[in-house]
A and B are shown apart, each in its own frame.
Chain A
């Protein structure tokens, strides 16, 4: 591949990490002599965001229009109809994020661009590409080929590629200021709502006892609370527990919840989907208790116990209480 375009993802006047993750992978794929193109859609007042991107793309195409201040898929699509006429590239990358998932499948369908989603790796071979994506909640990987086409589109999983050490090049900025036109009233952005502040801020805790689907019932949460209290820590959870309202949303660790970095993270009955791992993988020490020896959580935990949490936790709580007297 000679030319790869990356759609810059920005929100609340900040370029998001996924952008750099995609730029890094694009550099690797185009190799010497290729071109990495960053596509930036935004309000003219957001031009300052380009400073972070320009050093990492051979060319930045900045589509600036007051209609593009916030991410709105209908407006982005209208801009794309002009961009696609002007930009020559074989591959377009977007994030498999709240932003890309709300845009890429529609772009692929509208322009019939061969597409697949939630890619964790991209392999170039003989001028063609293979996408690696995960199925069955990350238990199986699939190598996927795409139909032939002038352009292809992939959405890339957040965290699949490093956001650091991206090659620095001298990028040129090409501004397009033509108006984005159309009737966009069918969907209108209103506002952002910040996450609710709970009684406990899990991001500040040194010790976290976190529960997943394996806790089985809201009535079992006190088992984890008792351990957390004995250790001087707090209780957090994975998505299924928050979905079922067994613990409040602000206790949820993961992509759509909080990112935590405690000294010790004890994962009880958490399988360890990548969205959960994204929120806790940088904890100092990770201890996992799970009945399933193949649970992905054991892939990133430092210590593991393959056993029933309902036996392990009371035994551990008792010992901890014992030494603390």
Chain B
């Protein structure tokens, strides 16, 4: 089975103090640490587990500058066979739709039985690229997948619905799945492992190589465009308890007693 996994390199922002830059259309990224998008890491692991069971090849694809080779090499170290980087200044500003066009242009001529993406990316959070890509490639798909079983050319998948409910679907290969976090336990990547794939060649392809014009991609090829970034309005907010640790604990106990927090 030939599996393609689309992965993204994103800034870690959970604990970072974000600053909106002078254009008001982006954040300052100089001080941020980048890593593989969390959902995509689960997708790579899912691909490796399928390959271990079924045989075949895994190709990882990422769109972005040379730094994206870091996440591609990380996926190679985990067990992917080949890596391709799609890169072109014209891709800048692409929304989920334009990004799906870039990926579709690259994937359509590659052998593929299964395509995996993460459900969403941690930076722009569209949750749309994978499903749009499936449509462009004419593949059946399922979003928010939390379990995959393969039998012949049929996949049985679980989709995560709301409230703990799951949906079971069958899909005929070739197909595309968007992978939800928690589907597996992604394997550890050692420094030795990364070193082993350090010399592996990663092909880079631009818009012209993919047969895409400037009107197909970037802002021109997007359906949506950021006009302005701003910080969300802050709610009323919590009353912050100050003092020494002992005083804080004392205040908390008082609040808990008043509010029924001690049974």
Q: Which residues in A have some Cβ–Cβ distance to B below 8 Å?
A: 11, 16, 73-74, 96-99, 101-106, 108-110, 113-118, 130-131, 133-147, 155, 158, 185-196, 206-207, 213, 231-233, 239-240, 242-245, 249-250, 252, 255-259, 263-264, 266, 271, 284-288, 291-292, 294, 298-307, 311-312, 315-316, 318-320, 323-324
Contact = CB atoms under 8 A, between A and B. Distances in A.
B162 A299 contact: no
B182 A239 contact: yes
Interface string B158-182: 1111111111111110010000011
Given A117-B96, A130-B227, A105 B132 contact: yes
B152 interface: no
B242 to A, nearest CB: 9
A250 B166 contact: no
Contacts of A141: 229-232
Contacts of A315: 245-246, 248-249
Contacts of B232: 134, 138-141
A143 B230 contact: yes
Interface string B229-263: 11110111111110001101110110110011111
A143 B227 CA distance: 6
Contact of B161 (A98, A206, A324): A98
A263 B260 contact: yes
A231 to B, nearest CB: 6
B245 A264 contact: no
B62 to A, nearest CB: 19
Nearest to A153: B223
B53 interface: no
B260 A284 contact: yes
A61 B96 CA distance: 30
B225 A231 contact: no
B168 A190 contact: yes
A140 B260 contact: no
A199 to B, nearest CB: 15
A88 B122 CA distance: 35
Contact of A116 (B122, B223, B260): B223
A118 B121 CA distance: 12
Given A239-B181, A258-B163, A263-B259, A110 B158 contact: no
Contact of B170 (A187, A207, A306): A187
11 contacts: A102-B143, A133-B125, A186-B140, A186-B172, A249-B164, A264-B256, A285-B259, A299-B236, A311-B245, A315-B246, A318-B249
Which DSSP category, helix, strand, loop or mixed, fits chain B's interface?
Answer: mixed
A8 B15 CA distance: 37
Nearest to B178: A101
Which A-B residue pairs are the 3 nearest by beta carbons? Answer: A232-B263, A195-B164, A304-B238
A243 B182 contact: yes
Contacts of A264: 256, 259-261
Contact of A137 (B14, B229, B239): B14
Interface of B: 11, 13-15, 17-18, 20, 27, 95-97, 100, 119, 122-132, 134-136, 140-144, 156, 158-172, 175, 181-182, 185, 222-232, 234-241, 245-246, 248-250, 252-253, 255-256, 259-263
A152 to B, nearest CB: 9
A256 B15 contact: no
Contact of A193 (B17, B18, B163, B165): B165
Given A298-B240, A299-B235, 16 more contacts: A98-B159, A102-B141, A116-B223, A136-B123, A143-B229, A187-B171, A187-B172, A190-B169, A192-B165, A195-B166, A207-B261, A250-B164, A284-B259, A287-B252, A298-B237, A303-B240
Contacts of B253: 316, 319-320, 323
A101 B169 CA distance: 16
A301 B259 CA distance: 14
Nearest to A103: B131
A103 B225 CA distance: 21
A285 to B, nearest CB: 4
B224 A114 contact: yes
A140 B20 contact: yes
A106 B141 contact: yes
B245 A186 contact: no
B141 to A, nearest CB: 7
Nearest to A208: B261
Contacts of A143: 226-230
A135 B123 contact: yes
B132 A231 contact: no
A304 to B, nearest CB: 3
Contact of A320 (B14, B135, B185, B256): B256
Contacts of A193: 158, 165-168
A82 B205 CA distance: 39
B223 A147 contact: yes
B164 A104 contact: no
Given A109-B135, A136-B18, A302 B239 contact: yes
B99 to A, nearest CB: 11
A284 B260 CA distance: 9
A115 B252 contact: no
B202 to A, nearest CB: 27
A301 B241 CA distance: 12
Contacts of A105: 96-97, 100, 128-132, 135
Contacts of B241: 303-305
